[in-house]
Amino acid sequence: MLKDNPAELDGSELRDRLAADLIRARERTKLLTTVDDAELLHQHSPLMSPLVWDLAHIGNQEELWLLRDVAGRDPLLPETVDQLYDAFQHPRKDRPSLPLLEPVPSRRYVDDVRGKVLDLLERIPLHGRPLLDKGFAFGMIVQHEQQHDETMLATHQLRAGEAVLTAAPAPGGADLPGEVRIPGGSFTMGTDVEPWALDNERPAHAVDVPEFFIDTTPVTNGAYLRFIEDGGYDDPRWWDAVGWRHRQEAGVVAPQFWNREGSVWTRRVFGRVEPLREEQPVVHVNWYEADAYARWAGRRLPTEPEWEKAARFDPVSGRSRRFPWGDQDPTSEHANLAQRHLEPAGAGAYPAGASALGVRQLIGDVWEWTSSIFDGYPGFRAWPYREYSEVFFRDGYRVLRGGSFGSDPSVARATFRNWDYPIRRQIFSGFRTARSLTSEELDV
């Protein structure tokens, strides 16, 4: 049986792990692109690329990093193709007008690249160069493909028409105390030892976090519905000034994909309309909505360090874990990941995935908005390229943590950082709230 942490793997174990991760990612990509050619070429929202762009982009990045940079090979296609699939040259809204590869050549291209990459993996030394140490470049490509797979899953949620994806219903939840008290003091945030961690997760550094309370589970549909019914969308007291203006201009009155039919709320989930399940975490809310709910509830969004301390800190050993439950990779007992279910699990699910302090569902189910602006950690160094993280720092992006039901375990580390503009809600975003201690609690 393979070990969990890539840092502990040697030789054939590491190659087996990387090959298995590459194959799993490609199986998911094929599932998400198993639609007719018209669906692949269609842009389902100006916020998203046509699925065929994501498909060929996955292959292009794999070729650039592994076949050309690592192996030094010549391009498989004319170099003009690189420009078509450069995410920084072409905004998503403009990509349908590009001379993209058609579906059949796109599939042929990504298959050709993958075959050569698996051959390369069998014989290249996984040491001697920073890009190859512990298989970093291969792990980076796995994570890149899985991140685009989650983006394509979000595109499936936005598309009109009949459902094409199926999955078993998510498990129900459990009744738990509403909040958990997190002790104050210093903890280690970020990582220096996770071999496939990306640059914005580094370096590890000590952060002092005052004592606080955090929700045991993400905020549920039922709780959020009470905010709506109390007039939360109509009361500017709860809203950030920019968020209030956006709410009015965009006509936002409920989470995306919710609809009221008489007195009954429904939601659209991957082409199916179904009654709202009040026990599930709310999903498809933007940062402004999450912040307004927290203010209405007399609470606030957690900072990014607070979120990570609640997820990783072990008060017995004093160290930070890889995951809330410990150091082993996620299983189906720990978290709702990898589109195993096409919805969040009920609040309080996955007791085996609880943190050392008793906080549930910090990994999987919904990405959780934090109050923090996306920026580099002290001592940050862009690597292996600035465009992964650094160009987004301090540009109005808010940090999300924890992954969603659409995230793969390869990007579900407790140190992994996501970010988006505060108006975005097509992503699988939810939240939990926090609060500082009252003066009376501080005296206890």
Three-state secondary structure of the chain: CCCCCHHHCCHHHHHHHHHHHHHHHHHHHHHHCCCCHHHHHCCCCCCCCCHHHHHHHHHHHHHHHHHHHHCCCCCCCCCHHHHHCCCCCCCHHHHHHCCCCCHHHHHHHHHHHHHHHHHHHHHCCCCCCCCCHHHHHHHHHHHHHHHHHHHHHHHHHHCCCCCCCCCCCCCCCCCCCCEEEECCEEEEECCCCCCCCCHHHCCCEEEEECCEEEECCCCEHHHHHHHHHCCHHHCHHHCCHHHHHHHHHHCCCCCCCEEEECCEEEEEECCEEEECCCCCECCCCCHHHHHHHHHHCCCECCCHHHHHHHHHECCCCCCECCECCECCCCCCCCCECCCCCCCCCCCCCCHHHCCCCCCCCCCECCEEEEEEECCCCCCCCCCCCHHHCHHHCCCCCEEEECCCCCCCHHHCCCCCEEEECCCCCCCCEECCCEEECCHHHHHC
The structural domains of the chain, ordered by start, are 6-158 (1.20.120.450), 179-220+293-443 (3.90.1580.10)
pTM for the complete prediction?
0.97
Question: pLDDT tens per residue, the chain (444 residues)?
Answer: 346 788 888 889 999 999 999 999 999 999 999 999 999 999 999 999 999 999 999 999 999 999 999 999 999 999 899 999 999 999 999 999 999 999 999 999 999 999 999 999 999 999 999 999 999 999 999 999 999 999 999 999 999 988 899 999 999 999 999 999 999 999 999 999 999 999 999 999 999 999 999 999 999 999 999 999 999 999 999 999 999 999 999 999 999 999 998 889 999 999 999 999 999 999 999 999 999 999 999 999 999 999 999 999 999 999 999 999 999 999 999 999 999 999 999 999 999 999 999 999 999 999 999 999 999 999 999 999 999 999 999 989 999 999 999 999 999 999 999 999 999 999 999 999 999 999 888 876
